[in-house]
Amino acid sequence: MAEIEWFDDLRVGMKFKTASWQLAASDIKRFAWEYDPQPMHLDEDAAAKTIFRGLAASGWHTASIAMNLVVQSRPFGRHPIIGMGVDGLRWTAPVRPGDVLDLEGEIVSLIPSTTKPHGSVVTNWAMNNQNGELVYTFSPITIVPRR
C-alpha cells in the first residue's frame, strides 16, 4: 500500500488497526480522581455496590485511551489528528482492570472542503477487549490537509 500522507490518499472503506493497551486498576482510579470521581471508578468496595458490580473505567478514560491508540497508529500519516467532533459515541460494555483493549477503524466518509486546502474524514472506530467484546465505538470527524 502506498504511504498515506494527504486527504487525497484516503479512500472510503480503508481499514486501520491499532496497537493494544492494558489497563491497570491504579490507572482507572487515578483518572477517576481527577476527572470522574464516582464510586464505580474509584474504589473496589464502593464499585461492588453499584450496577457495575465491580471497578470499571470512566467512559472518558476509555475514550482517552482510544485516542492514544489511534494517534499512535497514524491512520492519516504524519499530519496531526485534528478533530472537529465525534458522532456515535457509545460505551457498550464495562472496561475492567486488566483488560487489553485495541481498535479497528474504517473510513466511512470523505468530504473535501470547497474553501480550504483540506478535507473532512469520518472514521468508524470500534474498541474491543481481550475477549473480543465490543466496549466502545466512536466516529470522529477529522480534518486532513490536501496535497
- Considering only CA atoms, which of 76, 73, 59, 60 is closest in space to residue 10? 76
- Considering only CA atoms, which of 73, 72, 65, 70 is closest in space to residue 22? 65
Query: For residue 121, what are the β-bridge partners?
Result: 110, 142
What is the pattern of x (binds a second copy, CB under 8 A) and - over residues 16-55?
Answer: ---------------x--xxxxxxx---------xx----
CB 43 within 8 A of CB 73: no
Q: What is the secondary structure of 114-144 as a DSSP string?
A: SSSSEEEEEEEEEEE-TTS-EEEEEEEEEEE
Q: Which is nearer to a second copy, 36 or 102 (CB)?
A: 36
- Binder to a second copy among 9, 16, 60, 106 (CB under 8 A)? 60
Q: Which is nearer to a second copy, 18 or 58 (CB)?
A: 58
The least CB distance from residue 13 to a second copy, in Å, is: 24
What is the pattern of x (binds a second copy, CB under 8 A) and - over residues 61-100?
Answer: x-xxx-xx--xx-------xxxxxxxxxxxx---------
Contact residues: a second copy, CB under 8 A: 31, 34-40, 50-51, 58-61, 63-65, 67-68, 71-72, 80-91
